[in-house]
Copies of this chain bind each other. A is one copy, B any other.
Amino acid sequence: MDQLLNSVKISINHKIYLKDPESSGLGKKIVSHSILMIDEIGFEAFTFKKLGAKIGSNESSIYRYFENKHKLLVYLTSWYWGWVEYKLVFATNSISNPWEKLEKAIEIVTKTIEEDSTFNHINEVVLGRIVIKESSKSYLTKEVDGENKSGYFEIYKRMVNRLSTMIAAVDSNYSYPTSLASTIMEANLHQHFLKDHFPTLTNCSENKQPSAFLLNMVKKTLNND
């Protein structure tokens, strides 16, 4: 992204991990290879035992970083949204025109992910695929309320609220800025998924990205076209 950002670290709630995976080589290996493995075999089939075998490490060592694979998924999605948030703040901070700001924000949130060499143990493109396919499993659980109280989803919530504030700045009379913000976030992932697996349920495709659909929808909804 920028050389200036070489020292940036995405900061994640300590309750999500037992030991900070950024603090050691093994920790980074756990993160980088879990991303590749979840993408390859899916979250359901993914286990710490398989991951251990792949990175030449021990199952029990992985358990010293994350309590279970659910928390690892929460960690990965939090990292992803922290990374997107960083790009969003960086790109929109200097824009004063509310419409321009919102447009830029939507572009950042919805555009196809490109690799970012700032964080070299994380493949953002593959992580983006995991977020599309697996991230909703991190909150569609029986434990969601407790985990939400513990702050597991704070980065995601902050992202939605940033978008919501930008929407309200554009149209202060609109009654549903937060719902529209959460819909942009979720619909973007959903349209990406549909384009890859249910092409008859979307008008999006490789040359007609979800980004354009959502920007159009937001512009119309907020009376600007």
The answer to whether B182 and A190 have CB atoms under 8 Å apart is: yes
- The secondary structure that dominates the A interface is helix
Q: Which residues of B contact A179 (CB under 8 A)?
A: 191, 194, 202-204, 210, 213
Within 8 A of B (CB), among A133-191: 133-134, 136-137, 139-142, 144-145, 148, 153, 157, 160-161, 175-183, 186-187, 190-191
Interface string of A100-136 (1 = CB under 8 A from B): 0000000000000000000000000000000001101
Contacts A220-B220, A220-B221 given; does A201 touch B182 at CB 8 Å: yes
Interface string of A73-89 (1 = CB under 8 A from B): 00000000000000000
Q: Which residues of B contact A210 (CB under 8 A)?
A: 179
Shortest Cβ gap from A67 to chain B (Å)? 15
Q: Which residues of B contact A177 (CB under 8 A)?
A: 203
The answer to whether A213 and B157 have CB atoms under 8 Å apart is: no
Q: For residue A136, which residue of chain B has the nearest CB?
A: B136
Shortest Cβ gap from A119 to chain B (Å)? 26
Interface string of A41-70 (1 = CB under 8 A from B): 110110000000000000000000000000
The answer to whether A203 and B175 have CB atoms under 8 Å apart is: yes
Chain B CB within 8 A of A223 CB: yes
Which of B140, B145, B187 is A187 in contact with, Cβ under 8 Å? Answer: B187
Chain B CB within 8 A of A13 CB: no
The answer to whether B142 and A44 have CB atoms under 8 Å apart is: yes
The answer to whether A198 and B44 have CB atoms under 8 Å apart is: no
Q: For residue A178, which residue of chain B has the nearest CB?
A: B203
**Hey, which bits of chain A sit against chain B, CB under 8 A?**
41-42, 44-45, 133-134, 136-137, 139-142, 144-145, 148, 153, 157, 160-161, 175-183, 186-187, 190-191, 193-194, 197-198, 200-204, 210, 213, 216-217, 220-223
15 contacts between A and B (CB under 8 A): A42-B141, A42-B142, A136-B140, A137-B140, A148-B197, A161-B201, A175-B213, A176-B203, A179-B202, A179-B203, A179-B210, A182-B190, A183-B187, A220-B221, A220-B223
